[in-house]
Structure 1
């Protein structure tokens, strides 16, 4: 580099390497963290009976406990995410798997995605039918195919080759979802008029090895037509995980989450915030006689506050709202912060950490 001394160039190179390394170089740290969701939307106390409230909380807690058990036992973040989502896919209260909404034609088209923050490997499926656990199929796409996303009949053929469990169409039918479709047609309503909440399910986790993972599964929107696909199976929109920044799963009006690129946008902002924090720390290091830093701050020595992560998530959700969309996200950071951000009156959610946090919630004021 013409015009710069050799010591300066070497120091600059070391600084760049330090900043480029993941902030998750903490394999010896036993911390773990998990957050889950079962959808966001117009969820108000006055519209929920005590029995319904209790049933949703119990379902969320059971799913959270499943993921927590994996992490507390030293298991992988991917396995924890899978443990949560498979349970929610079997629960007809949520719009995923068995409780999926009906399409306009009276069928069920399921979407799911999963991502490994360690390698940024990802798998997704869209518009599949008859698959009991779409999240398991998404993971098979990630691990057993050369692709990231499969759709429709091709994805179903791949599921059969992989020996995944299939269920008949009627297994996914529920009275509440059928009534919503019939009301939508009879009263010429929009999907948002009958779907006052988005029942998409998801989970994000940090394991004790410092690895992040995220997954999302959904039945989409009531009365959807023409093979409509939302954000849930789209890596970067509804799901994203990167050990360098965060893990995200989203729920809401998918068209807006796609346009904003919500999941990746939040993670990208956190990567930028981390680099700025690292630079500020490095600028505060004492200088030697040549004006060079006496030591280099390594990325593993730094951590972002929960407030910074929360602000990044809230700012992106504000962008979604400004465009006319609503919904929410769950977020876990490399530091173990388990956070939520939503612009609706409620979101079915829960979180647990190795520090003793263990809670589920529904309404915005909880």
Structure 2
């Protein structure tokens, strides 16, 4: 048995105590923070009419305002992300809930997930139909079942038992989604040819108590077959939250985001950097030092670069225990917005905004 030299024993003990303890308590009160997204992809100014541009910005602002109102009134991060996502699930501009894309057979199959950074409890649903707010169902899976993910008919039965609101098929369907599927089949196109953007919606938040949460909701990809499930309902790929690091919601080509484990990969790297900074400084002043390093943006961009190297694209929103929300994308645009208790309130569409 190898004996650790006495001169290292104290340092190792201090290190393991540090890495096993959440760092939020060491940070100053950063107030509440919220970020949302409504999809990323090939979004160019020249392809958007002024009316379309204005409509998307207004829809994003409504969702942002709904979530910010919860946080402003002292509500929890979990409540805020549900409040922000539900208006986007109701808006046919986005690919979630109403306005979701059609499967190869002309159906609508919805996915969603949610995660509480305080406890790392999580809930998810995949391939559900008729549920007005899949994000609400995902949260109930977390709070009212012993499971993390439910799929298909079983998830719908669970929703019925909990009295969730259902809507008729025609409420979800839109002409532009029907036309996209028809064009895909007639011209033998791929989903990426007709889905020039990924309309998945999501939100991440930090509440006034310092707790983090993340949620994501989507209709998937046009013409998906065989019960395809993307990253949105996969905890660690499209959604992740951990008070020790960050909360992430992703939108993009799900197969690649699953392979990289994007959401958890970002959180893990952030957590390790925070722990290393705390250890190096003995726990003092590390938050102030980190704030000037732009480390959250750099980590986010590095993980998305890995996605791009594999052939995928998309974007993420990230909120941490201390910093303002961060956006990341390897596309020409992402529908997004952020608000903080410090007065930030903005929505954007194009990558250069």
1:96 and 1:200 in contact (8 A); partners too: yes
Spell out, residue by residue over 1:242-300, the C-alpha distance to the aligned partner (whole angstroms, 9 max, x if none): 00001000000000000000000000111111122123213xxxxxxxxxxxxx64988
Aligned to 2:299: 312
1:21 and 1:299 in contact (8 A); partners too: no
TM-score by length of 2: 0.95
2:27 and 2:322 in contact (8 A); partners too: no
| Separation in structure 1 between the aligned mates of residue 69 and residue 27 of structure 2, nearest angstrom | 19
Matches within 5 A, 1:74-89: 74-89=74-89
Aligned to 1:171: 171
Aligned to 1:288: none
Aligned to 1:208: 208
Aligned to 1:151: 151
- Residue 10 of structure 1: CA displacement? 5.6
- Residue 29 of structure 1: CA displacement? 2.5
2:291 and 2:323 in contact (8 A); partners too: no
- Residue 337 of structure 1: CA displacement? 2.2
Aligned to 1:352: 339
Aligned to 1:199: 199
- Residue 27 of structure 1: CA displacement? 9.3
Matches within 5 A, 1:216-295: 216-282=216-282
Spell out, residue by residue over 1:23-48, the C-alpha distance to the aligned partner (whole angstroms, 9 max, x if none): 21269836011110000000000100
List runs of 5+ in structure 2 lacking aligned partners.
none
Aligned to 1:324: 311
| Separation in structure 2 between the aligned mates of residue 41 and residue 79 of structure 1, nearest angstrom | 28
| Separation in structure 1 between the aligned mates of residue 130 and residue 281 of structure 2, nearest angstrom | 53
Say which one has the larger Rg.
1
1:274 and 1:304 in contact (8 A); partners too: no
CA pair 135-27 structure 1, distance change in 2 beyond 3 A: farther
Spell out, residue by residue over 1:48-70, the C-alpha distance to the aligned partner (whole angstroms, 9 max, x if none): 00000000000000100011111
Aligned to 2:57: 57
1:85 and 1:217 in contact (8 A); partners too: yes
Secondary structure, counterpart of 2:208 in structure 1: coil
| Separation in structure 1 between the aligned mates of residue 337 and residue 308 of structure 2, nearest angstrom | 23
| Separation in structure 2 between the aligned mates of residue 36 and residue 171 of structure 1, nearest angstrom | 24
Output the aligned Cα RMSD: 1.9
CA pair 279-105 structure 1, distance change in 2 beyond 3 A: same
| Separation in structure 1 between the aligned mates of residue 96 and residue 259 of structure 2, nearest angstrom | 23
Aligned to 2:68: 68
2:321 aligned to 334, 338, 342, which one? Answer: 334
Aligned to 1:37: 37
| Separation in structure 2 between the aligned mates of residue 199 and residue 306 of structure 1, nearest angstrom | 32
2:18 and 2:275 in contact (8 A); partners too: no
Secondary structure, counterpart of 1:112 in structure 2: strand
| Separation in structure 2 between the aligned mates of residue 3 and residue 215 of structure 1, nearest angstrom | 44
List runs of 5+ in structure 1 lacking aligned partners.
283-295
Matches within 5 A, 1:90-129: 90-129=90-129
| Separation in structure 2 between the aligned mates of residue 157 and residue 148 of structure 1, nearest angstrom | 16
